[in-house]
Amino acid sequence: MGKKLFSGALVCLALLLSFSACNNDEKKVVETPKLEAADVFPADSFAFYENVLAKDSLNTQLHLALATNYYAEKQFDKAIEHLTKVCSLEKENLEAIIILGNVFYDATQYENAIVYYEKALVLDAKDLNVRCDLATCYLNIKKTDKAFALLKKNLEMDSKHAQSHHNLSVVYKEMGKTKESDEEMKIFNSLNK
User: Terminus-to-terminus CA distance in the chain, angstroms?
Assistant: 27
How much of the chain exceeds pLDDT 70, in percent?
A: 77
pLDDT digits (tens, 9 = 90+) for 142-169: 999 999 999 999 999 999 999 999 999 9
Nearest to 140 by CA among 117, 161, 113: 113
**Structural domains present in the chain:** 1-112 (1.25.40.10), 125-193 (1.25.40.10)
Describe the chain by its helix, strand, coil percentages, rounded to 5: 75, 0, 25
Contact 148, 168 (CB under 8 A): yes
At residue 57, the pLDDT reads 87
Compute the distance between CA of residue 129 and CA of residue 183 in angstroms, rounded to an integer.
21
Name the more confident of 18 and 171. Answer: 171
Does the pLDDT of residue 134 top 70, yes or no?
yes
pLDDT digits (tens, 9 = 90+) for 98-114: 999 999 999 999 999 99
At residue 96, the pLDDT reads 96
Mean pLDDT over the full length of the chain:
83
At residue 42, the pLDDT reads 65
pLDDT digits (tens, 9 = 90+) for 76-95: 999 999 999 999 999 999 99
